[in-house]
Amino acid sequence: MIDRRFELGSLCAATFVASLFLLATPATAQENDDCLACHSDPDLTGTRNDQEISVFVDETLFAESLHGDLECVLCHADLEDVDFHDEEVEPVDCGMCHDSEAEEHRASPHGRLTAGVDPGAPTCAGCHGSHDIRPPTEAPVDCATCHPRQGREHAQSLHGRAAARGDEMAPTCAGCHGNHEVLRASDPRSPTAVMNVPVLCGRCHQEGSPVSLTHEIPQDQILENYSMSIHGEGLFRQGLTVTAVCTSCHTSHFILPHTDPRSTIHEDNVVRTCEQCHSQIEEVHRKVIAGHLWREAPDKVPPCVDCHSPHKIRRVFYSITASTQDCLRCHGDPSIDIGREAEPVSLYVDEANFSTTVHGATACAQCHIDVDPSLERACDVDIRPVDCSICHIEVATEYRTSTHGTLNAQGDPDAPDCLSCHEHHNTLKKTVPISPTFAQNVPLLCAKCHRAGEAAAERIKTDVVDIVQSYVDSIHGKGLLESGLVVTATCPDCHTAHGELPPDDPGSSVHHDNVASTCA
């Protein structure tokens, strides 16, 4: 097309041509008025590649364009010494003046398509216009002409909406892809190459950038936190270009807030987004989360980012959960309690203490799944006891088949449950010396039920008068309690931690047929 190549090919009116032949003066270079004598006619046509095209030039638009003070023949150099033309003119070479831009364009995919004479290839005129070129600030290049899908997605995105509001800092196509030096994402030199994407996005989304200083962005230190995340380390330290970068989760052009149902990081979509790389999630989590919950009760399974922060340190609390800080507004008060039967029960949670526990990075609503954040008080519902099996499925399965679990299922008041040994909001790893399940503390923990006179001791018929004291007096007990040998055998080493069974049960670790293996 003529308006994409700065090309003119016209046949002037016969009367005008005849008058030129009658002139007695020598041939001189054409001036703009000479060209416009014909080309200002809206109906004027010419031919290009045997196709009829318009060769009309709007004199007003041309005068207001960036080239409005230039002579036509400065660009159409092959017409400099002729008075009229009836042949196809040579394509304009913008590189005569814009040499650096032309060089960048030639090296780009756009330029290679042009060199290959692809009729759809972007040319200078195709992006900037021909006789009506305006400054980019007044008439930005519309990349959507050739890239309609990306244009539509960008227009609906956070970036596109910011641009529509007139935000001067809103990212544009050229802002990410460059102007004339556009390169494919597969080119390592491209700013959109996988290795370069975090730095590209970080130009705006990093501390101290103009965007971070002037815009309300919910997350902070995004680039720094990403670089320290498992994804960032995979990319920057190991060069794994298959790791996730910004565009892997947020997409390249259709970037939306996590509250938008169309967003790739919306609570309903984020699992599918993660599954692009982390497939068969329910299989991977089979020892942590009951696989059937992913299909039968997805509301009981926290979104991936509730446990695995996409940007290191950052946590996102989706609408199906409630923020821990919301809960602590009430439960951080030491005086909060609830009346139960004869005496009140404290509902206080010590935030500082809780943060040091094994669940310190777990949101309240990941355990208390009944809360409803749509209510003024999220817990103003029928709160059921916490089901630890949501995350600890393997342990819970073992417990259910044990004597403790069987009695608990029958409603036996003496049967211990998870919280009998691990406490409510103070669950500690068994390697922590103050934990009830630390090796030196285990005998005292089990003694709460099994020492002489306690409930379990009264129920179990055995020749040993006091099981706990018997252990204390044993070589194992002395090694643990007197010598401090935490590698010695304690109750769970022989009876297991969660699958305790009586010695006459063939499945018991202390059954006659199994005890040798247990000791071994």
**What's the sign of the alpha-carbon dihedral 126, 131, 133, 138?**
negative
Q: In this predicted structure, what is the pLDDT of residue 137?
A: 80
- pLDDT-derived band at 344, boundaries 50, 70, 90: confident
- Please provide the DSSP assignment of 311-352 as one string: STT-----TTS--HHHHHHHHT-TT-EEEETTEEEE----HH
62: pLDDT strictly greater than 60: yes
Q: In this predicted structure, what is the pLDDT of residue 286?
A: 55
Neighbours of 170 (CB within 10 A): 20
Asked if residues 474 and 467 have their Cβ atoms less than 8 Å apart, the reply is no
Q: In this predicted structure, what is the pLDDT of residue 283?
A: 66
Give start and end residues of each alpha helix (H) in 385-466. Answer: 393-401, 403-409, 418-422, 442-450, 455-459
Domain extents in the chain:
1-139, 141-278, 279-390, 428-519
pLDDT tens per residue, range 117-139: 677 788 898 899 999 998 888 88
Pairwise CA distance, residues 2 & 126, whole Å? 9
315: pLDDT strictly greater than 50: no
Mean pLDDT of 376-383: 82
Asked if residues 75 and 6 have their Cβ atoms less than 8 Å apart, the reply is yes
- pLDDT-derived band at 318, boundaries 50, 70, 90: very low
Tell me how many helices (H) and strands (E) the chain has: 31, 4
Q: In this predicted structure, what is the pLDDT of residue 96?
A: 92
Pairwise CA distance, residues 333 & 372, whole Å? 21
Asked if residues 325 and 342 have their Cβ atoms less than 8 Å apart, the reply is no
Q: In this predicted structure, what is the pLDDT of residue 28?
A: 46
pLDDT tens per residue, range 150-175: 999 999 999 999 999 999 999 999 99
DSSP state at residue 195: G
- pLDDT-derived band at 382, boundaries 50, 70, 90: confident
Q: In this predicted structure, what is the pLDDT of residue 497?
A: 95
- pLDDT-derived band at 316, boundaries 50, 70, 90: very low
Q: In this predicted structure, what is the pLDDT of residue 220?
A: 75
Q: In this predicted structure, what is the pLDDT of residue 334?
A: 93
Q: Please indicate whether residue 228 or residue 94 has the higher confidence score (pLDDT).
A: 94
Using DSSP's 3-state secondary structure scheme, residue 45 falls into: strand
Asked if residues 514 and 508 have their Cβ atoms less than 8 Å apart, the reply is yes
- Collect all residues with Cβ–Cβ distance below 8 Å to 516 and sequence separation of at least 6: none
Asked if residues 106 and 38 have their Cβ atoms less than 8 Å apart, the reply is no
Q: What is the pLDDT of the chain when averaged over all its residues?
A: 84
Q: Which residue type, as a one-letter code, is found at position 227? A: S
Q: Which residue type, as a one-letter code, is found at position 209? A: S
Q: How far apart are the first and last CA of the chain?
A: 87
**What's the sign of the alpha-carbon dihedral 435, 437, 440, 446?**
positive
Q: Please indicate whether residue 306 or residue 136 has the higher confidence score (pLDDT).
A: 136
20: pLDDT strictly greater than 60: no
